[in-house]
Structure 1
Amino acid sequence: MDLFALPPLAHLLDLATRALLALTALLDPLAGPAAAALAVVVVTLMVRLALIPVGVSQARAEQSRARLAPRLRALRERWGHSPERLQRETMHLYRDEGASPLAGCAPVLAQAPVVGLLYAVFLHPTVDGHTNELLAHELFGVPLGRSLAGALSTGTMDAATLAVIGTLVAVIAFAAEMTRRVLRPPVDPAAPTWTAGLVGVLQFTTAAVAAFVPVAAGLYLAVTTVWTVAQRRLLRRRYPLPS
């Protein structure tokens, strides 16, 4: 079932498509055939600018978790035999310190609707009964609505498609590696050793996703991932982790 066939979501899809087409027309004198791709980049930057306060909150939360790590370890040592009491004491500690264990998830959750909407815009050949003109736009000769999975299944895979999608995936993977090496999140000494490895794997999930979504959505993910690395590096200087 296509959720965007439901009237409220169909209307939202139509508005998003019209807005992107208007922005594409505005950027056409500057970018020409790549105007729609540039429109996606502009939308990405606008979203990231709007989420700067959320990024600041995330940096503060990361600093708070690192600062509270010894006390959290002490709580686990004391109440590890009683999960309910441990959870209660942990939440009391976060509340008393004005911190939240979920604050770091906010940027991802805030962007999810935007990525989903971009995915839908470049997935539907028709919107509100009209041909989706955005699908005619390209990035270096590759339609913005093409995906790696789609190209393989329809036999439209070519060197340009492989190069564009491969570059987007490589950029995201590089940003994930930079995050893993330079911006390694604080590790709770009391946590199981396998959790650190799991976190490292999850950081590359976005790169895997970019290989299967339309090029436009992959472009959004690449730009937002690079932005995230740069922003976190700046905020790490403003809110350094305790030694």
Structure 2
Amino acid sequence: MSVFADLVQHLADLLHPLFGAAAAAAAIVLFTAFVRLLVHPLSRAAARGQKARTALQPKVAELRKKHQKEPEKLQKAVLALHAEEKVSPLSGCLPSLFQMPAFFLLYHLFSNTTIGGQANELLGHELFSAPLGGRWADALGDGGVFGGAGLVYVALFVVVAVVASFNFWRTKRMMAAANPAAQLAVAGAEGQQVPGLGAMTKVMPFMSFFTLFTVAVVPLAAALYVVTSTTWSAVERAALYR
């Protein structure tokens, strides 16, 4: 943890001539961009995997019809199909999984008052008048929604809402454009939909809005990571899945 703290502090020192008191916040944004660049090859692989899985949906639909009363055989047949076509069902999860350590490092770093037995100096850094170790509840108690710290969160919420709305619109459009064969692939035995899948499909477009809750409850430093990463993801997915 102390090594990571030193890294953030050194990066903030380098950026201080450009960003002044907001150098630590800028360092977190730059660190997030660096993490996303490292994960980008996985994102490209996930996009290729998604396209490949979509292309396999007609074959999956045929397997569901063939084994509609034999769930175990269906599962084995679908896995064998993915293996034969060299398509990983889990490839889409890898970019998110590889980012989690960076998020939790920031979360713990700006949630602890001490690091290695010494005072955590990073907690003294601010974004305008909002402490990087503070939360939205702290901002509400110190000036309210439109106080100095509160306005920082208002700006973050606006960015998240815009990105979430874009993701919502894009997800709805992609789902509406799904071909009939792909829709058949989610059908279960005797043409009945897989239990719970309909509800999940309805909820999926709203998932991006859950980021608003995350930004509200985590330290501001972690919130900056989430907002930057979410914005990057929206732009990246729009380019990769166009």
With the shorter chain as reference, the TM-score category is 0.7 to 0.9
Aligned ranges 1:156-235 → 2 under 5 Å: 156=142, 158=144, 159-183=147-171, 188-190=182-184, 191=186, 192-235=197-240
* Cα distance, 1:233 vs structure 2: 1.6
Contact 1:183 1:233 (8 Å CA) reproduced: no
Q: 1:103 to 1:35 in 2, by over 3 A?
A: same
Q: Is 2:146 the counterpart of 1:146?
A: no
Counterpart residue type for residue 200 of structure 1: P
Aligned pairs for 1:1-243 (under 5 A) are: 13-151=1-139, 155-156=141-142, 158=144, 159-183=147-171, 188-190=182-184, 191=186, 192-237=197-242
- Partners in 2 of 1:151 and 1:95 — Cα distance? 51
> CA 1:76/1:230 → structure 2, altered by over 3 Å: closer, same or farther?
same
* CA distance in 1 between partners of 2:215 and 2:31 (Å): 17
CA RMSD of aligned residues (A): 1.8
Runs of 4+ in 1 over 4 A off after TM superposition: 183-188
Which amino acid is the alignment partner of residue 156 of structure 1?
D
Amino acid paired to 2:227 = A
CA distance in 2, matches of 1:85, 1:163: 56
Partners of 2:109 and 2:136 lie apart in 1 by 17
SS of match in other structure, 1:193 = helix
Aligned-partner SS, 1:189 = helix
TM-score, length-scaled by structure 2: 0.85
Which blocks of at least 5 consecutive residues in structure 2 are unaligned?
187-196
TM-score normalised to the size of structure 1?
A: 0.85
Q: Distance in 2 between matches of 1:196 and 1:163?
A: 35
Amino acid in structure 1 at the alignment position of 2:183 = P
The residue that corresponds to 1:8 in the other structure is: none
Write the letter of the residue equivalent to 1:189. Answer: Q
The gaps in structure 1 that reach 5 residues or longer are 1-12, 238-243
Give the letter aligned to residue 133 of structure 1. E
Identical aligned residues as a percent: 35
- Is the contact made by 2:19 and 2:26 (CA closer than 8 Å) also made in structure 1? yes
